[in-house]
Every structure is written in structure tokens, then in C-alpha cells.
Amino acid sequence: MKCFQNNVAATAKHFPGHGNADTDSHTGIPIINRSAADWHAIDHQPPFAADIAAGIDSIMTAHLEVPSLDPSGDPATLSAPIMTGILRNQMHYDGVVVTDALNMAGVRTKYGDDRVPVLAIKAGVDQLLMPPLFDLAYNSVLKAVHSGEISVARIEQSDLRILRLKLKDRVLTQPFVNEKAVSQLVGTPQHLAAAQAVTDRGITLVKNDDHVLPLAKSAKVLVTGWDNGVTIPTTALASDLTSAGITATALPTGAVPTAASVSAAVAAAQQNDVTILLTRSSAAVLGASQQTLAAQLIATGKPVVVVAVQNAFDIAYIPTARNYLTSYYTVRCR
């Protein structure tokens, strides 16, 4: 049972700092226009220097440009001045550096998928996360080693860091766990209570212009909106509200509501006192059909509480929302 304890590698991310970004690095490359002095005061000293001083196990890179740190136009993941010059040499970090996912647009805008893994390793990265074509990434790195573009010594540097971390976390000495003990150590009541406490404290009420929250026990509530066909948060939330003594019904509309499902939701909203609308954007943009659903529900004149299931910035696409709450992940309610 001891092999479960103290063997989770903590990761600080995303270096050199993903704050102040106005672009989602999944879909494009953010440009962080902080001065070097501002970067040092805001992004360097408070989070990353403190993490390194505390012995952080690994650091994840950011797919973004910081011209004040590297004017080349390369994303930080591929930047030797940032990954080696700053992180390794100036900040004296010699732990594992892992890329953010290499299938994200932010790291693919300037170079092809064959060059990105090679440039990341040359920059000082140790692990390549989720290259879109694994065989291409592997063979590109192998070719670079054979040609001498990447030295064997450079690969061995990363091997040593990774093995050192595995040794620290006992992956090498105790690679197996007691399967019978898993239920006693993972998902325990204490763990679930801690997760619930974090969730409860993290939910953010942004607007409550109609003063409908907290919901009145006497309210008839419709829960509608996003689901992905696998997890049905509308049904789960309606069930939880019912358990709390509130009359609630669920009407999931799918990830991309059809005209028919929008009409059905609007008709149902008119028969209820309050509608809770769950939204979830795809990458950085809330889909047009979800925006239509929101607009038509709000147009009924009945109070609508918009709940962003994942991306807090869904509100940018629903400007007429009077009541807005974000959960940062799939909603559950006690």
C-alpha cells in the first residue's frame, strides 16, 4: 500500500507563463507582450521560482510567443533562449520539462509536425506530449540523432532526468501496485469530500440580475442544454435538484442543438418558472447553435440561468444573459 504514497509527480505549467493571453493556444498562438521586467515580476518570481525552490517534479511548456524573452517568433516550447537560457541556466532548473500537447495549433503554426519534436528537444525539453503523428515524431527525432543535429549526449540528458524522477517516485523499484487495495486508497470518502469542497468553492456566480439564485423550493425548473451523448449533465443536475426538494425536469439538447431541439426547449421553458441552460464551448468558441438556443430561451422573458460547464468565457457569446454561473467542469449539485 505504501507504493501509492508520495509517488505522484507534480507539474508546474505553463512556462514561461500563460497569463495575459488573448488567444487559445489550442487554436492559435498567443503573443504575450509583457516587458522582460514585468515577466520577471509577474510570471517568474511568484509561481515558477517558488515551484523550483520547493522542488517541483516537472514543468510544462507554453505554446506562446514572448517577444521580450525571445524575439525570434518561436513559441516558448521550441525556444532555446527560454527553455535553456532562462529555465535551465538562469533559474537553474534541472528537472523534467514536458511540452504541452503537440497537437495544439499554437506549436504548429510555424513548423511542420516533423520539425516540432526535434526543435523542442533542441530547445531543452525532455518529454514530447501527444504529437499528432507519433511515428513521424519518433522517426524525425531518430533521424536528427543519426544526422548529428541532436547529439546522443543531449538525449542522455533527458533520459537521466526522466529516470531520476522515476527513481524518486519508485516507479523503477516498485512498479506494481496491490490491485486489491485500490478501492481503499483511490476515490475514498475523504477524497470525494475534498473534491466536492474544491468544486463547491470554485463555482463562480458572475451575474444574478433576476435574483433567482439560490433557487426557491417552490420553483419549477427546466434544466436544458449541452450534453455529449455520453455524460448527460442536464439529467444529473435535474436529479440532484429534485433530491434537494426542487421540482426539476431535464431536456438535453446535445452538443449541437437542432432547430427542433431549440423549439422544444423554448416551449418547455415557457411552462417552467426558471430555466437552467448548460453551455460548453468547443475550444474557445461557443457554437452558433448553442448561442441560438440561449438567445431564444432568454427571449421568452422567463428567467434563464446560464451555466458554463467548462469554459468560463462562454458569457462572451451570450451578451443578453442576466444570470450567469460558471462551474469550470461538468456540473453536479448536492
Catalytic residues: 100
List the one residue out of 124, 111, 118, 126 whose CA is nearest residue 145: 118
Distance CA 33, CA 280 (A): 29
Residue appearing with cell numbers 431549440: 262
Is residue 32 within 8 Å of residue 65, measured between CB atoms? yes
Q: Is the backbone peptide bond immediately before 214 cis, with ω within 30 degrees of 0?
A: yes
Helix (H, G, I), strand (E, B) or coil at 329: coil
User: How many residues appear in the chain?
Assistant: 334
Give the integer Cα–Cα distance in Å for 60 and 125.
9
59 pairs with which residues across the strands?
12, 97
Phi, psi of 282 (to 5 degrees): -100, 115
